[in-house]
Amino acid sequence: MSIFDVIAGYGVVPVISIENEKDALPLADVLIAAGLPIAEITLRTEAAIGAIAQIARHRPDMLVGAGTVLFEDQLEAVQSAGAKFALSPGIDVATLSAAKTLGLPFAPGVMTPSDVQIALRSGCNMVKFFPATAAGGLPMLKSLAEPFRHTGLRFNPTGGIRPDTMTDWLGYGPVAAVGGSWIASTQDISRRNWAAIYDRAEAAKASVHQFRLSGQTSV
């Protein structure tokens, strides 16, 4: 089973911007306890790579990846820190090539058919539709994805997705998982509001499970 198959199994990935490396392990423990042991740590803060390293080293049951990866050297840094996958908000050939050379599962950001074709040519099997809501929402993703549906390419829409819209996205077949930035906000992490993060993570996991049990999908 590939990393992206595992991510699809969870259906939702907490997207996290962490400002203090010391909060990494408590955060991981909360997500593990809630039954959602996965996180995309975005490289938007100086603490990000250290947080990835802490989780990878001390919480091996946690599937930790890196988000907002923009350049080749960042790919090397997050892989060395222990990230199991990486994502970016956009797409460029140099970063795609570097990820392939490193053997690091990588999902570039796409918003146009040309973006998708570049990703396919580079051998990607998952891409990040970003910014999902601002780019036109689910109707836009359907229009974008349908010409490529026969390729088996899967999508990870992220940006503006809420708990009440999550299953709408998951109901569209090519969507493997959504990015959930609401699960663990920077503010709640800084305040160490672990109870709120636990509740949101547990609720997100339950929503995915219940939705999939219902068998609701759209074409």
Any idea which residues carry the catalytic annotation? 40, 128
Tell me if residue 110 falls in helix, strand or coil: strand
Q: How far apart are CA 63 and CA 59, in angstroms?
A: 9
Structure tokens at 41: 């740590």
- C-beta neighbour count of 128 within 10 angstroms: 27
Please report the beta strands in the chain, taking only residues with DSSP state E, as ranges in sequence order.
12-16, 38-42, 63-67, 86-87, 106-107, 109-110, 126-129, 154-155, 178-180
> What Å distances lie between residue 18 and 41, 61, 66, 68, 131, CA to CA?
7, 20, 12, 13, 20
**How many residues make up the chain in this entry?**
219
What is the DSSP secondary structure assignment for residue 13, as one 8-state letter? Answer: E
41, amino acid identity: I
Q: How far apart are CA 198 and CA 137, in angstroms?
A: 27
Q: How far apart are CA 56 and CA 52, in angstroms?
A: 6
